Structure 1
Amino acid sequence: MADDLSHRALAMLRAVAEGRAVLSRSCEPDLFIDGVPCCDQMTAHALAHGGYVAAGPDGRTAELTDAGRAVLSVTLVA
């Protein structure tokens, strides 16, 4: 699972886990980290469509899904 994700994708997941990310709610969700549009929206779309991140209950804040948390926990242990 984690082998399929680049270092950049894992860094994006860590930013989401730290509460620094916002995800737009659209068919192609855009990720903003620290208020700045993420430079790799293709990866942001892949993380959202792959089920690693989702918009939080407020409709803005990005949150890790169970799959996103699992990937980060595997990379932290390895």
Structure 2
Amino acid sequence: MKAAFLAVGSELLGTDRLDTNSLKLTALLERYGVELRRKAVAGDSVPDIRRELVGMAADCDLVFVSGGLGPTADDVTREA
């Protein structure tokens, strides 16, 4: 089984925030024999998130998304 992970948040594109969720998920998937094929970070932009999701869904059986689900205007993952 192949998987992909998308971290959403413009703050993750800089140098002062680290995406630790993907590191934990990678370890968990390895334990269950799932191959993590793709990892990406998308800023808070519907077109950017959508582009990553479409590509990941075409290549992988599972797509995990973290971030962009809060109550503020820049949280647009649901819309994407």
Mark yes or no: TM-score above 0.5. no
Name the structure where helix makes up a greater proportion of residues. 1
Name the structure where strand makes up a greater proportion of residues. 2
Structure with larger Rg: 2
Q: Per chain length, whose mean CA-contact separation is higher, i.e. which structure has more relative contact order (CA < 8 Å, sep 6+)?
A: 2
TM-score by length of 1: 0.29
TM-score by length of 2: 0.29
